[in-house]
Amino acid sequence: MSESVIGVVPTLKKGKSFGRWDTYTMVVTDTRSIFAQMTGEMIKQIGAEAQRRAKEEGKGLFARWAELMKANLSFSQRYIEMSPDDALNEAPGNFAIVNSDIRSIKIRSKSQSSGNDDADRIVTELTVEGAGKKLVYTMDSFSGETKDMLKSVFGDRVHTPRW
């Protein structure tokens, strides 16, 4: 039986230092969860393609910027059609955890300070525990569809506040 992709959790940010982060997509299959890193080269290619298309369509500066934002958000959806092995081998920073090794996935809203006088913003924190690892990511938004997909795969190992 071949492994199939069930869904993706897009734009997971893992903090590094000095306000920088790495961005991952969690590609959930029926047997494992692949964490695919969005490399700097990928971000450049996405941006260049989005800008080119918007320019060809005669869009102005703000419309081109909006197209760039949409392209970054929709980038993760390509993993739905990609084979799990191709997703895993796409970049050197990619890794996988067997789903049965994942003990819990905790999802919670969290206030995040930008460090200056600006108001805090609310982000979603996703914590994956298992296989001797504790992975903590933040996301700007989290949909009910994504929660339902995770619950369909991991069942009561997914812990969320009341929605």
pLDDT per residue over 91-146, tens digit each? 999 999 999 999 999 999 877 666 665 667 788 999 999 988 999 999 987 888 99
Please tell me the predicted confidence (pLDDT) of residue 66.
Answer: 75
Q: Of 79, 81, 108, nearest to 96 (Cα)?
A: 79
Q: Residue 26's domain is classified under what CATH number? A: 2.30.29.30
User: Where is pLDDT greater, at 112 or 29?
Assistant: 29
* pTM to 2 decimal places: 0.82
The predicted-structure confidence for 75-87, as pLDDT tens digits, reads as follows 888 899 999 999 9
Please give the radius of gyration of the chain, using alpha carbons only, rounded to the nearest integer: 17
* First vs last C-alpha separation in the chain: 36
Instruction: Please give the Cα distance from 32 to 30 (Å, whole number).
Output: 6
Least confident of 60-69, 82-91, 149-158: 60-69
Instruction: Please give the Cα distance from 13 to 131 (Å, whole number).
Output: 20
Tokens representing 10 are 């897009």
Per the CB < 8 A criterion, the answer to whether 3 and 59 are in contact is no
Per the CB < 8 A criterion, the answer to whether 68 and 14 are in contact is no
Instruction: Please give the Cα distance from 122 to 99 (Å, whole number).
Output: 29
Q: Could you tell me the residue range of the domain that residue 129 belongs to?
A: 5-159
pLDDT above 90: percentage of residues in the chain: 49
If one counts the domains in the chain, the total is: 1
